Amino acid sequence: MNGLRDRLSRSAALLATRDETGVTPFAGYRVTGFTNDEEAGVGFADKAKWLLEDEPEKLPTEYSPGPVWEPCTVVDRNLYTGQNPASSGPLAEKFLPLLS
91: part of which helix (H) or strand (E)?
A: helix 88-95
Q: Determine the pLDDT at residue 11.
A: 58
The dihedral through the CA atoms of 31, 32, 34, 38 has a sign that is positive
Q: Determine the pLDDT at residue 19.
A: 87
Give the list of residues 6+ apart from residue 73 with CB closer than 8 angstroms, or none.
32, 80, 81, 82, 83, 87, 90, 91, 94
Burial call 50-61: b when 16+ CB within 10 Å, e when fewer: ebbbebbeebeb
- pTM confidence score: 0.80
Question: Which tens digit of pLDDT belongs to each residue from 2-31?
Answer: 443 333 344 567 777 888 888 889 899 999
Question: Which tens digit of pLDDT belongs to each residue from 22-73?
Answer: 888 989 999 999 999 999 998 888 988 888 898 887 888 999 999 999 999 9
Q: Determine the pLDDT at residue 17.
A: 83
